Amino acid sequence: MISSAIIPQPLARLPWRLIFVIIGIAGIGFLTQYSAAGGSVRPWAMKQGLTVLFFLSLAVIMSTIRENTIKQLAFPAYAVILIMLIIVEAVGFVGKGAQRWIDLGFIRLQPSEFMKPAIVIVLARFYELLPAGDIRKWRAIWPAVALIGVPWALILVQPDLGTATMVLLGGVAVMFIAGVPLRVFLIPAAVLGGAIPIVYQFMHGYQRRRIDIFLNPESDPLGAGYHITQSKIAIGSGGIFGKGFLNGSQSHLDYLPEGHTDFAFATWVEEWGLLGGALLILCFAAVVVWGLRVASNAKSRFAQLTAAGLTATIFFYSSINLMMVMGLAPVVGIPLPLVSFGGSAVMTVMICLGVLMSLERQQRTTSGLTR
Amino acid sequence: MKMERRFTSVHQTITFSRRMMLLGCGQAAIGAVLLGRLGWLSVRENEKYQLLSESNRVQLIPVPPRRGWIVDRHKVPIAINRSSFRIDLIPQQLETPESTLKTLAELLQLTTDDMDRILRELKLGHGFQAVQVAENVSFEQYAAITVRLPDLPGVQATRGFSRYYPSGPAVAHLVGYVGTANEKEYEAEDKNPLLIIPGVKIGKQGLEKSLEKYLRGVPGGQRVEVTARGKLVQELDPKPDRSGQTVQLTIDQGLQEYAARRMGDQSGALVAMDVANGDLLAFVSMPAFDPNSFSEGIGRTEWKMLSENDHIPLLNKVAQGLYPSGSTIKPAMALAFLKQGIDPKRRVHCAGGYQIGNRYFRCDAVHGSMDMHSAIERSCNTYFWATGLVTDPAQTTEMVNYLGYGQEFDLPIPSQRFGTMPNPKWLEKKYHRKWQGYDSANTSIGQGYVLVNPLQLAVMPARLASGKLLQPRLLISDRQESVKPVDASPEHLEIIRKAMAAVVNGSGTAVASKLPLDGIQMAGKTGTAQVFRLGERGHQSNWALRDHALFIAFAPADKPRYAIGCIIEHGGFGAATAAPIVRDSMTYLFDKQKALAALAPLEEQWGGTLAQRNGRQLAAFKAQRTAT
């Protein structure tokens, strides 16, 4: 928030501190894309920069939407996205191949991406409608489980384990915040832990291999474990200060695969070291803290749950990627939002931020009395 | 039953705050883990990953060292390296094998033999190992390939060095040859990356093999920065290679080549030795292959020709050929008799044979009354049979062995055979029977169990001539420790030497082979070793059944400087074929011009020099093969 007589009110009201942090993260992304291309804005950096600017503007525009509008759109939007998911599945079935998008000609819509914020919003709406006394009852649980489970299953069979996991985690986060009894989380967690060996049996070959390799990446350093091994080499060899901008040998000599997409963090840390890596992590932390504060300060239950859920989504998005590139999680194909090349992640995060900014704006502009 | 607690919006707010706390704490914890992990990787494990990153980035391409030369005692090159152009195929990078091979065949004029070999190696080889297309191609051909390289993926044109033996077959069995390492050799050296670089050859036979550690040198390294796909980014500071050492042999290259040529088309071996110190001056086994064509990867046809030849050009006869010594054993026998107190004046009457037990041994002629001198001079068997019976066979055979026959020598030649000098103890152990009179009789004329190699045929006269227990050596660097004298009295040795001089210069068996030199006489002893049955001895029409001809010699007879031993397989009488070759080779050591003048008419008669005849032989063989 900048208070100045010169700057017009609507602009001054924007959460500038957050926007600066976001631009900072996107700037790191830009530098990483630039370096990954061997010191060139083509083919990634420029495109990515424009994508970020476009979706950031979109987020700013979204911040003017009123909370009520979002509420009203929650169920219809969820339904539309779910139908799109089914269409994608059907087309994929007909086309006899994995299909994750609907091709509209000018843009390829990946409905699963929209599901990440949508699941949060629809659950927030659901728990808002649920009477406070029912939260410990069965009827507080099964509709939520269904709302999460159906898209989750549809996305999982695409197959897109990364996105499915994100949808699941986002939904579960809202349930958790809403106050669903702890045993609802703990018992399935325990069951899941026991069921992992069985689930493992039903996984796709490549998914199974990713888990094998996560458990022991060195078992196959030249094959599928190559990604994790090379990523750790890139990060570890950077040291405290890094090898210097444009001097990353791992990324420039192509030892690090996907250095501009999923493993962009490794590219960044190799050149900027521990300091650069920590800066990026702290930037994400700042975004999450801001989001949590929006949730804490929210005056309606819907706003509380939505803000906390969307923040959790952003958090999971970034932290799962970071865990993956540092060898703490299996390679599931989740990009680092705003840093990795690719529009969908930017779009999702910006939708989340747009909704969050809208909620934040209304916290400041509406008085507690009008609630 | 407990009444359910009412859950109000107040509770809801409390729960929300609590859950938010939990969520925030969880997220903070994960954030802390992420930061910790980042610090662990980039600080604690930094060194490890820096090393890994560096070994990713930098690759060491070994640069093969130049192989050391082999030179003779006068530093005349025997094995050298020639700058050459070569064309190789990298199977992995080959995109269109058929059309590529077709283009190469046209440009390089490859024969079907070559194509056969290339296709065979492509099929057998590993993708990473280069397959040689052609070596020693002309600059024009090299250039023709180089300009077409962009259209020929997988083809490699390089400048390198190839092994060259200026005198070809003459040194084949001495130096052996080099070749590309096979899988077994590659494994044996723990997959030494040097061995799979195209053009790198290792010793496969002879000195090239046994002196490998001196000749190879130390490979250098070109440090290069490469991408993950193996594309070269830049060259870093190189590590220079160290050429192999030059190895100086005791061989006299001139004599070696002369003796090889002098043997003509005969199958045999000749070894010459310096009586002063045991230096081997010639080490010839003929006929021989051309080590140059082996080192280039021999064609199928040539290999077939060599392996089908009944003169066995692929066998190193000096190191592995074993022959009955025949009468060349007699001087050593006589020395053994003298040592046991036999009076050299003692006479034995030769009536053309000798009865031992129930067997009658036939001498070559009716020699009449013989003493030791005339018995050696005329090679009378009867004298040796008779004297053998009155002496101790154990002592006699031990003396002969002591002088060299059946003895082992430490020479850098892989796989040598040393033959047998039988004695009563050996017979007992091997055949479980007592030594009999006829064993003495057979042994005293170098038949029966006696088997010697050509090297021993030179060591024996050298020791008799010098009175020193000379050890043969091939490398100048193998300095001889002080040589012990032969355990025999000088007077006895003089008697033997006089008798051997008479063989050539008196009225002996080799008077036709006097040295054509003023004031230099040769002393020697002929030998004719029976190959087939007694009674069918001597010259006969079937080459493979003819006797082996042997001759041992030293010169000058009065002041010995050189000793030579020679065996001509199936040459008939020793005096007829082996002695003239030794005579001319000996002449070469004293007067090169005269020796070469003697060779010229012979080579004309045989139809050209060794190289010319070999070339013609191969052409004829090829023509015959294509005809059939």
Question: Domain end: B230, B248, B266, which one?
Answer: B248
Claim to verify: residue B325 and residue B236 sit in the same structural domain:
no
Which of B70, B551, B496, B74 shows the shortest CA–CA distance to B279? Answer: B74
- Interface probe for A, chosen from B16, B38, B47, B233 (most Cβ of A below 10 Å), is B38
Claim to verify: residue B334 and residue B215 sit in the same structural domain:
no
Lowest mean pLDDT: which of A105-119, A213-227, B421-435? Answer: A213-227
Domain assignment of residue B494, yes or no: yes
Torsion angle of the four alpha carbons A148, A152, A154, A157, in this order, in degrees rounded to the nearest 10: -160
Alpha carbon of A146: minimum distance to chain B alpha carbons (Å):
22
Which of A100, A80, A81 shows the shortest CA–CA distance to A157? Answer: A100
A236 to B48: CB separation less than 8 angstroms, yes or no: yes
CA distances (Å), origin B375, targets A79, B345, B365, B489: 124, 11, 12, 20
**Rounded to the nearest 10 degrees, what angle do helices B490-505 and B330-339 cross at?**
150
Claim to verify: residue B99 and residue B224 sit in the same structural domain:
yes
Alpha carbon of A326: minimum distance to chain B alpha carbons (Å):
7
Structurally, how many domains does chain B consist of? 2
Query: What does the alpha-carbon distance between residue B277 and residue B469 come to, in Å, rounded to a whole number?
Result: 10
Claim to verify: residue B507 and residue B416 sit in the same structural domain:
yes
pLDDT more than 90, % of chain A? 49
Cβ atoms of B223 and B236 within 8 Å: the answer is: yes
- Interface probe for A, chosen from B22, B37, B41 (most Cβ of A below 10 Å), is B41
Domain assignment of residue B260, yes or no: no
Claim to verify: residue B111 and residue B205 sit in the same structural domain:
yes
Residues in chain B, pLDDT under 50: 1-4, 533-539
Domain assignment of residue B256, yes or no: no
Claim to verify: residue B452 and residue B543 sit in the same structural domain:
yes
Residues comprising chain B, all counted:
628
Q: Give pLDDT, residue A369.
A: 44
Average pLDDT estimate for A19-33 = 94
Which of A118, A70, A180 shows the shortest CA–CA distance to B16? Answer: A180
Question: Domain end: B248, B271, B288, which one?
Answer: B248
Q: Give pLDDT, residue B195.
A: 80
Domain harbouring B133, CATH code? 3.90.1310.10
Query: What does the alpha-carbon distance between residue A144 and residue A125 come to, in Å, rounded to a whole number?
Result: 11
Claim to verify: residue B230 and residue B338 sit in the same structural domain:
no
Nearest CA in chain A to B5: A133
A236 to B37: CB separation less than 8 angstroms, yes or no: no
Residue B238 DSSP SS3:
coil
Nearest CA in chain A to B35: A278
Question: Domain end: B188, B214, B248, which one?
Answer: B248
CA distances (Å), origin A11, targets A4, A63, A66: 10, 11, 17
Q: Which burial class, exposed, middle or buried, applies to B312 when counting CB atoms under 10 A from its CB (0-12, 13-18, 19+)? A: middle
Domain assignment of residue B623, yes or no: no
Write the residue in A136, A178, A273 that is nearest to B42 by C-beta: A273
Torsion angle of the four alpha carbons B510, B513, B517, B521, in this order, in degrees rounded to the nearest 10: -20
Query: What does the alpha-carbon distance between residue B589 and residue B282 come to, in Å, rounded to a whole number?
Result: 11
- Residue of B162, B327, B513, B585 marked active site: B327
Q: Which burial class, exposed, middle or buried, applies to A103 when counting CB atoms under 10 A from its CB (0-12, 13-18, 19+)? A: exposed
Report the amino acid identity of residue B592: K
Q: Give pLDDT, residue B294.
A: 75
Token output for B408: 């082992």
pLDDT digits (tens, 9 = 90+) for B463-486: 999 999 999 998 988 767 778 888
Domain assignment of residue B562, yes or no: yes
pLDDT at A95 > cutoff 80: no
Which chain A residues have a beta carbon less than 8 Å from that of B20?
Answer: 177, 292, 295-296, 308
Write the residue in B8, B38, B229 that is nearest to A278 by C-beta: B38
A133 to B8: CB separation less than 8 angstroms, yes or no: yes
pLDDT at A330 > cutoff 60: yes
Name the phi and psi angles at A97, rounded to 5. Answer: -170, 170
Sign of CA dihedral B459, B460, B464, B467: positive
Cβ atoms of B122 and B46 within 8 Å: the answer is: no
Domain assignment of residue B397, yes or no: yes
Claim to verify: residue B547 and residue B428 sit in the same structural domain:
yes
Alpha carbon of B61: minimum distance to chain A alpha carbons (Å):
18
Peptide bond into B472 cis (omega under 30): no
Q: Give pLDDT, residue B28.
A: 95
Residue B560 is part of which domain span? Answer: 319-593
In chain A, the N- to C-terminal Cα span, in Å, equals 23
- Which of A18 and B92 is assigned the larger pLDDT? A18
Nearest CA in chain B to A308: B20
Q: Is B327 a catalytic residue?
A: yes
Claim to verify: residue B235 and residue B380 sit in the same structural domain:
no
Which of A305, A311, A322 shows the shortest CA–CA distance to A288? Answer: A311
What residues contact residue A250 under an 8 Å CB cut-off, 6+ apart? A230, A233, A234, A237, A256, A259, A266, A267, A270, B53, B56
Which chain A residues have a beta carbon less than 8 Å from that of B38?
Answer: 235, 269, 274, 277-278, 281, 326
pLDDT at A158 > cutoff 60: yes
Query: What does the alpha-carbon distance between residue A92 and residue A99 come to, in Å, rounded to a whole number?
Result: 5
Interface of B with A (CB under 8 A): 6-9, 11-12, 15-17, 19-20, 22-24, 27, 30-31, 33-35, 37-39, 41-43, 45-46, 48-50, 52-54, 56-57, 225-229, 233
What is chain A's mean pLDDT, rounded? 86
Average pLDDT estimate for A321-335 = 87
pLDDT at A338 > cutoff 80: yes
Residues comprising chain A, all counted:
371
Claim to verify: residue B219 and residue B346 sit in the same structural domain:
no
Q: Give pLDDT, residue A222.
A: 60
Claim to verify: residue B365 and residue B471 sit in the same structural domain:
yes
Instruction: Compute how many other C-beta atoms are within 10 angstroms of the C-beta atom of residue B469.
Output: 17
Q: Give pLDDT, residue B536.
A: 45
Could you tell me the strand order of the sheet in which B280-286 lies? B280-286, B268-274, B562-568, B548-555, B523-529
- DSSP code at position B177: -
- Interface probe for A, chosen from B53, B229, B233 (most Cβ of A below 10 Å), is B53
Write the residue in B7, B16, B38 that is nearest to A326 by C-beta: B38
E strand segments, A169-219: none
Claim to verify: residue B215 and residue B94 sit in the same structural domain:
yes
Write the residue in A230, A238, A312 that is nearest to B42 by C-beta: A238
Which contacts qualify for A180-188: CB closer than 8 Å, 24 or more apart?
A180/A135, A180/A136, A180/A140, A180/A141, A180/A144, A181/A136, A184/A141
Q: Give pLDDT, residue A371.
A: 41
B42 to A239: CB separation less than 8 angstroms, yes or no: yes
pLDDT at A103 > cutoff 70: no
**How many Cα atoms within 13 Å fall on the side-chain side of residue B497?**
23
pLDDT digits (tens, 9 = 90+) for B159-192: 778 888 988 888 888 888 888 888 888 888 877 7
Instruction: Give the strand pairing for B548-555 and B562-568.
Output: antiparallel
